[in-house]
Amino acid sequence: MSEYQDHIRQSLDGTHHDPAEELGIDEMRWTPAPVSEPVTDEAMSDAAETAHALLDLAADAYLSLLNAVLGEGTHHMVASATTPHGELIEGQELTVIGDAVIINEEASMRVCAVIAAGMVGCATGGLVVRTFSPDRSEFVRGWKVRNLWLRPLTADAIQEAYSFHPETDEPLAPEPGVEFRQAERVPRPAQDQAETGDREASRTAPRDNRPQNRRN
């Protein structure tokens, strides 16, 4: 069983812990691998721009998940990323009531940072959300970080992560009352708006039959 599945299982069992509490925030920071040649200012600038771009993408995905997918209820969220520098894991709890979201901003930033780490080409990542809804139902969904976005996992894929003991790999009996659901698609706001606008324009605008060189 992968370490990612182990972390998922711990979150379900309620034994997940925050590495920051044990190690401290400074020890969780990545340490650059030693290099044989000095790093140029241009390379540092390019790396910083890439990091900012990935953080922006991760924040967009996170906010889109909150606004369009999660729904009402209390949500336990665990983000993880496997990188060349080690494993990163962050968790948070948030509650959605109507249009209001009760959230810890610092925890959200840390979750976004882990999602961004999973977007790096040499890394992998994922996000698992266990939801306690107002109707008392309890269900789990998951997303994989792929192609710079959160991609939904099937119910079977997320259930498989909870079906084996994290240490012995022995099969586990299903947990009573917990449903594993197909995750929803996380929309890309800018892209979806552009596509919607194009579709609306194609339905409402008259077709332009003029030659190409006569069009405005």
Q: What is the pLDDT of residues 155-182, one digit of tens each?
A: 999 988 777 776 677 777 777 888 999 9
Residue 147: per-residue pLDDT? 92
At 26-75, the pLDDT tens digits run 433 444 455 556 767 666 666 667 778 899 999 999 999 999 999 999 99
Domain contains 167:
yes
Domain contains 34:
no
- C-alpha angle 161/54/183, rounded to 5°? 30
Of 178, 183, 200, 201, nearest in space to 64 by CA: 183
Domain contains 213:
no
Domain contains 149:
yes
List the domain range (segments joined by +) for residue 130. Answer: 3-25+45-199
Counting residues of the chain whose pLDDT is more than 70, the rounded percentage is 64
Domain contains 209:
no
Mean pLDDT of 76-95: 94
pTM to 2 decimal places: 0.68
Domain contains 40:
no
Of 117, 115, 133, nearest in space to 178 by CA: 133
Domain contains 37:
no
Domain contains 99:
yes
Counting the structural domains of the chain, the total is: 1
Residue 34: per-residue pLDDT? 57
CA 45 to chain centre: 26
Residue 62: per-residue pLDDT? 96
155-187: buried (b, 16+ CB within 10 Å) or exposed (e) per residue?
beebbebbbbebeeeeeeeeeeeeebbebeebb
**CA-to-CA distance for 148 and 6, rounded, in angstroms?**
24
